[in-house]
Amino acid sequence: MDVVLVNESGNLFLSPDIDDWETIAALDITVIIDLDGDLDIGIPTLPNRMLYLYFPMYDEDLPDLPKLHAVAQLGATLIEQGHKVLCHCLMGFNRSALVAGLILVHLGMSGEEVVTHLQSKRAGALYNETFARYLQSLPAMTRAA
């Protein structure tokens, strides 16, 4: 399974479909943001171990922006609280990179920086020009103290 670390603090990842929950456990990932059109097989069900957020979207146009930003804000908040977050979609290039990128914007990077950064971490990331342009249009966001 191709899990890619996308930030320097070691707590934001992106990947294609999850087919190996042992890798997720070994990386101590506690939050999954699933953007694919189907639920992952074998989702851990032990109470209070895993937060699994299912927000399927098409790899075409942007989804509902208030929902998209709410998901990113949640991811950023959980990262700030010490959780490890994995964004994933079918191939791990566009939808997962869009959400991981938005999380990074909510953590203080500009959209321009995010696109360059993600493309350096995962070759082929953000080839969906609509997603890339949207991220590039965003200024760094400051978090409320």
Domains of the chain, first to last: 4-136 (3.90.190.10)
Burial of 82 from C-beta contacts in 10 A (0-12 / 13-18 / 19+): exposed
Closest to 60 (Cα-Cα) out of 32, 76, 37: 37
pTM value? 0.95
Give the model confidence (pLDDT) of 20-73 as tens digits.
999 999 999 999 999 998 899 999 899 999 999 999 999 999 999 999 999 999
DSSP 3-state assignment of 12? Answer: strand
Cα–Cα distance measured from residue 38 to residue 36, given in angstroms and rounded to the nearest whole number: 6
Predicted confidence band of residue 145 (pLDDT cuts 50, 70, 90): low
For residue 34, list its beta bridge partners.
54, 88
